[in-house]
Structure 1
Amino acid sequence: MTTITTATRKPVVHVAVALVVAIALDAAIAAIAHAAGASYAFSPLKPATYISLTVLGMLAGTAGWGVVRAHTADPRRALGRLVPTVLVLSLVPDVIVGASSMRGASWGAAAALMLMHVVVATVLVAALLRALPLPDNVLGGQRASR
């Protein structure tokens, strides 16, 4: 039987709260996009799609944060480069969708998806900085002891 410790529970709670916040913000973005004319036929703006992708993205982001935090000499520097790079790369499919003839696709709908990516990344990074903080002191490629 696996025992969940306080050290494990803290990140889980922070990420769960971040997930709820991100989904609520995604729902608001989708509602605003639809009010602004985005098609209801555009499946990425349907709750089943954006909720499942938000969950997957946050799980992947949390896992990546943990791996980088545990296995790099300077996780603050590594994540400072990795997070923006991954975020920009995550926008590429949205640009492709905006330019496509996908059912219901438009540049407004694609912009809403891009905003969702930025919101989810921002909410997750804020939660992870609290739940799994990065070391402040790095000396000679080694983490400074506390």
Structure 2
Amino acid sequence: MTSTAPTTAAPATWKATLTATGIAVAGGLIINSLIAAAALGLGASDEFQQLTLPVYGPLTVIGAVIAAVAWRVIVGRSRNARRILRILVPVVLLVSLIPDFLLLASKSQPGTTTTGVIALILMHFGVAAVAVPAFQRLMPPRT
């Protein structure tokens, strides 16, 4: 006989949190480097500094670390973390795109092109594509 009662995950350990954060950071940097290289290869301007590692690298690291801390806090304190994360992750991802769309509209940075901004947008999704599965696996939410 199977139970339909909600399962509860064990609280995430610091080792699991640090491992998930490391995966999110490393994977995010790799994916973002590939996206930047592809964008430059497809005609994004070399002047567009946002596609250089010194610009997107620290932002990738900061974003992944903030996401890991937020995820851990939510799974550690909420009885319905899975539901909260199912709503919060897409909302935060969409809100994080606002600066990219503003940059596209204003063209305030030298070398801004549609290709360059699309690359920045894809970078957000790339980091999420690595981080969310790592967080789910290593810091599973309670249902």
| CA-to-aligned-CA distance 1:3-36 (integer Å, 9 cap, x gap) | xxx9322221232123112111100100000011
**Partner residue, 1:58:** 64
Aligned partner of 1:142 in structure 2 is: none
CA distance in structure 1 between the aligned counterparts of 2:74 and 2:20, rounded to whole angstroms: 18
Is 1:104 aligned with 2:108? no
Indicate if the aligned counterparts of 1:99 and 1:107 stay in contact, CA closer than 8 A.
no
Q: Which runs of 4+ in 1 moved over 4 A?
A: none
Q: Is residue 2:35 matched to residue 1:10?
A: no
Which is bigger in relative contact order (C-alpha 8 A, separation at least 6)? 2
**Contact persistence 1:97–1:110 (CA under 8 A):** yes
2:28 corresponds to 1:22: yes
The structure 2 residue matched to 1:133, chosen from 134, 137, 140, is 140
**C-alpha distance in 2 between matches for 1:113 and 1:89:** 14
Residue type of the alignment partner of 1:72: S
1:97 partner amino acid: L
Corresponding pairs, count:
131
Query: Which residue of structure 2 aligns with residue 85 of structure 1?
Result: 91
- Extract unaligned runs of 5+ from structure 2: 1-11
The Cα of 1:87 is off from its aligned counterpart by 0.2
1:99–1:106 Cα contact (<8 Å) kept: no
Q: TM-score, normalised by structure 2?
A: 0.86
Q: Report % sequence identity.
A: 34
Q: Hey, what's the Cα distance between the residues in 1 that align with 2:116 and 2:46?
A: 10
> Post-superposition shift, 1:72?
2.0
TM-score (norm 1): 0.84
In the alignment, the residues of structure 2 paired with residue 112 and residue 35 of structure 1 have an alpha-carbon distance, to the nearest angstrom, of: 11
| RMSD of equivalent CA atoms | 1.4
Distance (Å, rounded) in 1 between the aligned partners of 2:131 and 2:50: 20
Give the structure 1 partner of residue 82 of structure 2: 76
- The answer to whether the 8 Å contact 2:35/2:119 transfers is yes
Matched letter for residue 75 of structure 2: R
User: In the aligned structure 1, how far is the partner of 2:54 from the partner of 2:129?
Assistant: 21
Alignment-derived partner of residue 3 in structure 1: none
